[in-house]
Chain A
Amino acid sequence: MKLFLLFLLVGLGLVLVQTTFLHLLPLGPIVPDLILVLCVYWGLNHPTVGAVLGCFLLGYSVDVFSSPVLGLNAFAMSLVFLAVYLSSRSIWIHNPFMSAAVVFAASWIKGAALILVGSLFLAADGLWIGVLKYIFLEALVAAVLAPWAFSLLRRGQKMLEEVTVPL
């Protein structure tokens, strides 16, 4: 329960940060996708039903704040979780480099999912043009941030597990 609350707060905090603070970073149009990093973390370290629903809700939150239609990011994040969950069974090594690589790959999956469903449901012309560069840059930024984000999440989780609530 405590862990669920922590992840809920972290998720809402990331939505808040991503809609306000991160736009100020000198990265041009690229906004570091920390929500994606959190979804990957869940997929790798906490593959539970709550984590699946969390990914869906975080994607949905991004849709509420950013997408032209609801469901785009919810789909992408759910797919990312699914992909990471399936691949996590084959990943035996957990180190910063591996987490960065998984996040990088997950960012590409998210980009591909967005393009795919965007092409199907939004009928936007020329969606492919120039988008690869942005997917790559977004994936790169997310991959760079991933080790630190993972470390912070692990630390927070550990601290929470050590706290004993008096009855």
Chain B
Amino acid sequence: MLAFVRRNQVLLTSFLCVLFSLYILSAAARGHLRGDPVGPLLLALMRPLQIGTQLTMVKLKEMQQGYLNLMRIASENERLKGRITELEAERNRLLEVEATNRRLQELLDFRSQLPSGSVTAAVIGNSASTWFRTFVLDKGSADGVRRGMAVVSPAGVVGQVVAVTSRSSKILLIADPNSGVDVIDQRSRARGIVSGSLDSGPIMKYAKRSEEIQEGDRLITSGLDGIFPKGLLVGTVTRVRKKTFGLFQYVEVALAVDPYRLEEVLVVSAEAAPGAR
């Protein structure tokens, strides 16, 4: 008998468990089950573990949500950065358009003071040499530009046309050593020739020692050279030096126009007489 039980202990225990669970079930269903010792113990044992697990899951969920939010924010950030770049480019474009518009408006106002026949041109190229101060315009003989015409801007004199093709023209700037503009000191009416130089800035040549030229005097075109209309601003006297000998005094000039910042100019003939500016 004992040997049978030992041989079939698993089977017998299983049957007993099945029967015992049926008994529990029956008693519990009828409400006769009193004093369950295992249930409360198990619940008490598992409670802290369940709370811990639950809290861990909540934390993990929060971390996951935080990470997802971070990813979303990072993506949004990238998108906004792109948008800012686009808007910056758009803003720069609009500022450029506004600046161009302003320059053209000034040029138009200036042009209205000149006799008809002046040509508006854009600068399309600069000098390729260190020794010369020239640039190229996009207008040529086909547009009415002729050799020897003056090139001016609302700020003052720029240079003169030295070569012309049908669709472009080359300008010799007044900052070039080979250039020369007949000028008058607007205050003292002293005369001279403004020309560029390689070593220093532009100078006013041939100003007599006896003339009263002061720093800050404005120099305007005299109109006597037959190239530039009379009364256009050329520059301002920055330094006057009289040596103990010689017929002329040494006058340094700051040009009114920085030719390398120009984008549009007017090409005019000497007949234009806008009056003193």
Are the chains A and B members of one assembly? yes
Q: Are B28 and A69 in contact (CB under 8 A)?
A: yes
Q: Mark A31-54, 1 if CB is under 8 A from B, else 0.
A: 000000000000000011101110
- In the assembled complex, the CB of A16 is this many whole angstroms from the nearest CB of chain B, namely 5
Inter-chain contacts of B25 with A (CB < 8 A):
69-72, 74-75, 117, 121
Interface flags for A95-135 (1: CB within 8 Å of B; 0: not) read 00000000000000000000001000110000000000000
B15 proximity list for chain A (CB < 8 A): 82
Q: Among the listed B10, B21, B49, B57, which residue makes an inter-chain contact with A49, where contact means beta carbons less than 8 Å apart?
A: B10
Closest A residue, CB atoms, query B10: A47
For A17, the closest partner residue in chain B by CB is B53
Say yes or no: is B3 at the interface (Cβ < 8 Å to chain A). no
Interface size class of B (residues with CB under 8 A): 20 to 34
Chain A residues within an 8 Å CB radius of B50: 16, 19-20
Q: Kindly provide the distance from the CB of B23 to the nearest chain A CB, expressed in whole angstroms.
A: 8
* Chain A residue total in the interface (Cβ 8 A): 37
Residues of A within 8 A of B14 (CB): 52, 78, 81-82, 85
Contact A20 B54 (CB under 8 A): yes
Chain A residues at the B interface, C-beta cutoff of 8 Å: 12, 15-17, 19-21, 24, 47-49, 51-53, 55-57, 59-61, 64-65, 69-72, 74-75, 78-79, 81-82, 85-86, 117, 121-122
- Which B residues lie at the A interface, using CB under 8 A? 9-11, 13-15, 17-18, 20-29, 33, 36, 38-39, 42-43, 45-46, 49-50, 53-54, 57
